[in-house]
Amino acid sequence: MSATIEKKKQVVAEIAEKLQNSKTTVLTDYRGLNVAQMNELRKQLREAGVQYEVLKNTMIRRATAQTDLTELDEHLVGPTAVAFSNDDLVAPAKVLHNFAKENKDLEIKAGVLEGKVIGADEIKELATLPSYEGMVSMLLSVLQAPLRNFALAVQAVADQNGEGEAAEGSEA
């Protein structure tokens, strides 16, 4: 019996470590999804570099007590699967939100973003943010706009002066 208790303690410690180390964690209720849908969801999350596990609520509660994330406990009702992402802040929210739009049975409960507990609405907002590459592209576009406009203005002045000189030359 003590081997079982030790194993459970080890599982709780692993969950606590994942909660602390992940940039984004999302709790979901997967009730109603069939095996094919779950496999597709896991595949999409794996491709995004997100780890997705079905965990017992009691184990998660014990892990949240160790990590001072007890605010998550109120969301630990019914079947719970947890998505952990150590690299990308937006990836789990994006994949789960998009999957939930297609499959109404998947419900996003809550999550943790860089150590702060957030609700389902905030996760949906996070999911609508553009990717890192998209944000960099937008920033570069904004930075290029003044230079591009200046170049167009200089070109317009040069064209206008060139036309004016050409008109004066033809009159002479």
User: How far apart are alpha carbons 38 and 136 in whole angstroms?
Assistant: 33
Query: What pLDDT score was predicted for residue 164?
Result: 52
- Please give the CATH superfamily to which domain 2-129 belongs: Ribosomal protein L10, N-terminal RNA-binding domain (3.30.70.1730)
Residue 123: how many other CB atoms lie within 10 Å: 24
Q: By the 8 A CB rule, do 69 and 112 touch? A: yes
Report pLDDT digits (tens) over 33-68.
999 999 999 999 999 999 999 999 999 999 988 888
Report pLDDT digits (tens) over 90-105.
889 999 999 999 988 8
List the alpha helices (DSSP H) in 22-131.
35-47, 57-67, 91-102, 120-127
Q: Where are the domains of the chain?
A: 2-129, 131-172
Report pLDDT digits (tens) over 112-151.
988 888 998 998 988 887 777 777 888 888 888 888 888 8
Residue 38: how many other CB atoms lie within 10 Å: 16
